[in-house]
Amino acid sequence: MSWVEAELREQPAALERFLAAETAQATEIVRGLVRDDVSYLLIVSRGSSSNVARYLQYLFGTANRLTVAFATPSLYTVYEAPPKLGPAAVIGISQSGASPDVVAVLDEAKRQGRPTLAITNNSRSPLAETADWVLPLHAGEERAVAATKTYLNSIAAVALLSTVALGDKERLQALRAAPFAVEKQIESTLGVAGRFDRYTDVESGSVVTRGVNYGTAYEIALKIRELSGAPFEAFSSADLLHGPIAAVKRGRPAIVIAPSGRTLDSMRDALEKIRERGAELIAISDDKEFLASAQTAFPLVPDLPEWLSPLLTVVPGQVAAVQLAKLRGADIDSPIGLTKVTRTR
C-alpha cells in the first residue's frame, strides 16, 4: 500500500485527534483574533491550503458574516510593496509552515499591529513562530507528497474556528460527529473504487460544483493532476456557463459535486448542460436522483450538514486520484517534479 493510501485511511483518527486537542484553545484564539477593531479576514496560503482558504471564505461569509479576502504574497516579497491592511485579522494556512512568502505576509501584518494566526501541522515552523496564535493540526507525520489528512484537518480547523466564534452548540456537536462520518465515507468509497477503472484512457476532465465545496473541486482537480498527471480543471457551475463549458465534451468526464443543501438545485441545472455536451458524469452526492442521472455514482454518507460536507466530498476525489494514477502507471508517492515542502518566495 502506498503512503497516500495509508494516510487517506488515517484521516478519521487524525480528525478525531485534532478536535479532541484543540476545541478549547480554538475558543481562546477566536477571542483574541476577531477583536473589536477587526472587520475582515485576510488569508495567505499556497497549494492545497488555498483550497482550504476557499472553504473558509464561504463558511465565514455565510455563517459568521465576515468578509474574507486573499493576500497576494508577491506584493510582500517580489515587489516589496505590502498594502495597508487596515481592520484585518490575518490567517496563514500552511501544512508545513515553511513557505517564506506565506511567513512574510504574517510578519508584515504583525508589523502593522494586526492579529495573526497560523494553521499548520508543524507548531515549530517559521510560520508558527511568527504568528500570535497557532492552531496545530495534529495530523501526525505525512510522508506522501500529496496532502490528505493535513488537508482534511485544515478543513476541520476552519470549521472549528467558525463554530466556536458563533458559540453554536448544535454545530459543534455536528462537527464532533464528523470523524465517524468520514470513516464511513472512506469505507464506502474504497468499496466501489473500481468504478473509476472505466476511465483508463481519460486524458483530461473537469470538476464542477458551487458554494462551500468550491475549494473541494480545486482540491480534487489538484490531487488528480499531482498523482496521475491528467489535467483536470475546477469550475464553479456558474462560471462554467460563461465560456469554459466549451471544454466539456465527449471523452472528458466531469466530476460533479452536489451534496444536499442550498446549491443542489443549481447543480441540477449544470448537470443538464454538461450532459448536453456529451461528457460522462461522475456524481458525488447524497441525492438519489442526482446519483441516478450520472454514468458513475459515488454516494455520500447522509445526514452531515452541507457546511461540513467538504469533509466527505473530498474523499471520492482522493480515491479517484489514486485510482487514475494506478491506471496510468504513475509513482503515487513520488510524483514527477513535486516535493513535500515547497518554499516559494
Q: Which domains does the chain have, with CATH numbers?
A: 3-176 (3.40.50.10490), 185-327 (3.40.50.10490)
Q: Which residue in the block uniquely carries the three cell numbers 515547497? A: 342
| CB 122, CB 97: distance < 8 Å | yes
Q: For residue 15, which amino acid is it?
A: L
pLDDT of 79 reads 96
Spans of the chain below 70 pLDDT: 335-345
pLDDT of 58 reads 97
| CB 165, CB 64: distance < 8 Å | yes
pLDDT of 133 reads 98
pLDDT of 278 reads 85
pLDDT of 201 reads 84
pLDDT of 183 reads 98
pLDDT of 340 reads 52
Residue from 123, 119, 129 nearest 43 by CA: 119
pLDDT of 341 reads 56
pLDDT of 336 reads 60
**Three state DSSP letters for the chain:** CCHHHHHHHCHHHHHHHHHHHHHHHHHHHHHHHCCCCCCEEEEEECCHHHHHHHHHHHHHHHCCCCEEEECCHHHHCCCCCCCCCCCEEEEEECCCCCCHHHHHHHHHHHHCCCCEEEEECCCCCHHHHHCCEEEECCCCCCCCCCCCHHHHHHHHHHHHHHHHHHCCHHHHHHHHCHHHHHHHHHHHHHHCHHHHHHHCCCCCEEEEECHHHHHHHHHHHHHHHHHHCCCEEEEEHHHHCCCHHHHCCCCCCEEEECCCCCCHHHHHHHHHHHHHCCCCEEEEECCHHHHHCCCEEEECCCCCCHHHCHHHHHHHHHHHHHHHHHHCCCCCCCCCCCCCCCCCC
pLDDT of 337 reads 55
pLDDT of 245 reads 78
